[in-house]
Amino acid sequence: MDQLRLPVDTFTLRPKQQATSEYLVYRAQQDCMRRFGFRYLPHLTEGYIAEATATQREYASRRYGVSDRAMAAEYGYHLSDASTGSRAPQAVNSLSEAERTVLSGRTKSGGEPGSVRGEPVPEGGCVGEAARTVQGDTSVSARKGDALVARLRRELFVRSRTDPRVTAVNKKWAACMHERGFTYRDPAAAVDDPRWDLQNTAPTRGERAVARADVACKLRTNVLGVNFAVESELQNSAVAEHTDELNSLREQRDAESRRLPGLLRRYARTPQD
């Protein structure tokens, strides 16, 4: 499933481009903070890109539930080791007040700081400067476009769950699972089985067995194909309603993707203390 792109996804960056953009935003923030003498994101490396790409692809592969035979056999419904690493930015509450001011461009009382340590704070702080560096001066409108894409993906996915074609194929999937000794009304129910502790313990043998059967029945009944076709149909209609906004977003993201190679060269070396 991670090889397929839904209609609204064509207006956004691909997984590796998105991961690269996120990394470069963090690097630009880091570089900005260093101008003020602050050590920010000390553990950030280019390894972030590969890890974030793997995570995005894994989540994409699970849009309609687990869909990869090998992953189901090894991890059941758990996420793989590749997608469970820690890539979170440095916790804001671990920063000093001065660091938070420079990063956000706002003082504790909400005002604009002017300067810190004799250095003028950029508009929007280092967060704002980094966004402009990587995304361009259209970063605000790009965020609005991204918000539209996220809303369409969320709302149309929910709507597709009740489409007669999806409910019909889910019944076929449930019958296939029943033949294999498992009773679930649809793929989502298999994932949500309370026996699986998806946040803590490793997958059990029973969980892996259900997940393997789940994938086999999805392939046998074409659950993935039907879901993708139905959601694509809904999204195509939405794209037609938001053509101008989405085309603007695509232009911005295309420009951003062209900047990425040069920015990678610019930030090729990790700052040393």
Percent of the chain whose predicted confidence (pLDDT) is above 70: 95
User: How confident is residue 199, by pLDDT bands cut at 50, 70 and 90?
Assistant: confident
Whole-angstrom Cα distance, residue 221 to residue 169? 7
Per-residue tokens: 260: 């990425």
pLDDT exceeds 90 at position 81: no
Amino acid, res. 70: A
Is the pLDDT higher at 63 or at 83?
63
What tokens appear for 28 in the block? Answer: 């630009």
In contact, 68 and 215? CB cutoff 8 Å: yes
Q: In which band, very low, low, confident or very high, does the pLDDT at 84 lie, cut at 50, 70 and 90? A: low
Question: Both tokens of residue 30?
Answer: 């880091």
What pLDDT is stored for residue 195 in this prediction? Answer: 95
pLDDT at 96: 94
Q: Would you say residue 87 has pLDDT above 80?
A: no
Q: 228-233 long-range contacts, Cβ below 8 Å, gap at least 24? A: 228/1, 228/4, 228/6, 228/64, 229/165, 230/160, 230/163, 230/165, 230/166, 231/6, 231/156, 231/157, 231/160, 232/6, 232/7
Give residue 3's pLDDT: 81
pLDDT at 242 over 70: yes
Using 50, 70 and 90 to split pLDDT, how confident is the model at 64? very high
Going from N- to C-terminal start, the domains of the chain cover 7-266
**What is the per-residue pLDDT across 128-137, written as a single tens digit (0 to 9) for each?**
999 999 988 7
Helices (H), 82-181: 97-104, 125-135, 139-160, 164-179
Band (273; pLDDT cuts 50, 70, 90): low
CA–CA separation, 267 vs 222, rounded Å?
Answer: 45
DSSP assignments along 64-104, one per residue = TB---HHHHHHHTTSPPGGG-S--PPPPGGGS-HHHHHHHH
Query: Which helix (DSSP H) or strand (DSSP E) does residue 120 occupy?
Result: strand 119-120
- pLDDT tens, position by position, 91-133: 777 899 999 999 999 998 999 899 999 999 999 999 999 999 9
Whether the Cβ atoms of residue 71 and residue 61 lie closer than 8 Å to each other: yes
| Dist. CA 10–CA 197, nearest whole Å | 35
